[in-house]
Amino acid sequence: MSGAVLRIENLGCSYGKDTVLDGITLPVMRGGSMVAVLGPNGAGKSTLLKTIAGLLRHSGSVKVGDREVTGLGQAEKLRTIGYSPQTAPQASALLAYEYAWSALRAALPELGNAEQERRIQTAFERLGLTDQLFKPVGALSGGQRQRLGFSQVLAREPLLYLLDEPTSALDLKWEIEALGLMRDRADRGGALCLVALHDLNLAMRFCDRFVLLKNGKLLAEGPVVGGLTPEMIRAAYGVEARIETCSRGRPIILADDVTDQETTPRRD
């Protein structure tokens, strides 16, 4: 594959009889971009990322470079696509370092020991895990475990990152560090990153574009700054929100009230 280019056309995906993605067509996405995948619970964000990762059968087309993702072999997929699921690594007796190293060895055996070690150490340093190297995965905190899962993907240095809520267990500092790292991979490494997020302010701060899903359909897409509007937020989430400018000149979203009658408890 020559570069990080992703083409999605008329994508559909079902679980049994239930259609959960329907007719999703997106503009071509290229390396250097970080795209927020947004939408309420159950909108289809994880399903979209899993489908792009080639993990689910689908209709329509998902092309990574000039190849259908379903046509990529396992080794090629692991080299090209870094998919990080919503759930952090399961507790186990493996040491954190063994966990990361065995995954990297399986994905990129051609790297050799020295380069594998260098990449893992770099990823651990960037994610503040150096002190946890020799701890069993089961002895890590939830946020440390989530960072460990992320380190495994970072160490592979793929062209395409698919991160499903990578900050859900992280504290304020590590939210900024983790998404800053991804922004850096896009800006300086030419990677393309799709990241499912619930925090719209993190999306506004780190991503350049967004894809907004609702009920498995594309509600809107575009540049985050100027493109994501209070009307879209209301339509997607049933929440009244304002977009204001903070003292540093950055846009900030303030959520005021739930407006969706179906999800507002009656008081009478």
CB of 112 to ligand ATP, least distance (A): 37
CB of 11 to ligand ATP, least distance (A): 13
Placement of tokens 């960072």 in the chain: 147
The one segment of 12-20, 233-241, 243-251, 252-260 that binds ligand ATP by CB under 6 A = 12-20
112 makes contact with ligand ATP (CB under 6 A): no
Dihedrals φ, ψ of 149, to 5°? -60, -40
Cα dihedral 88, 175, 208, 43 sign:
positive
CB of 37 to ligand ATP, least distance (A): 8
Q: Which of residues 246-265 bind ligand ATP (CB under 6 A)?
A: none
Task: Give the Cα separation of 96 and 88 in Å (integer).
Answer: 13
Q: Which of residues 69-88 bind ligand ATP (CB under 6 A)?
A: none
Nearer to ligand ATP, 47 or 167 (CB): 47
Pair 169, 143: CB distance under 8 Å: yes
Mask: binding to ligand ATP, 28-47, rule CB under 6 A, as x and -? -----------x-xxxxxxx
The pairs formed by 103-108 with CB atoms below 8 angstroms and a separation of 24 or more are 103/152, 103/155, 104/152, 104/155, 104/156, 106/78, 107/75, 107/78, 107/79, 107/156, 108/78, 108/79, 108/156
CB of 158 to ligand ATP, least distance (A): 21
Q: Would you tell me which residues interact with ligand ATP (CB under 6 A)?
A: 15, 18, 20, 39, 41-47
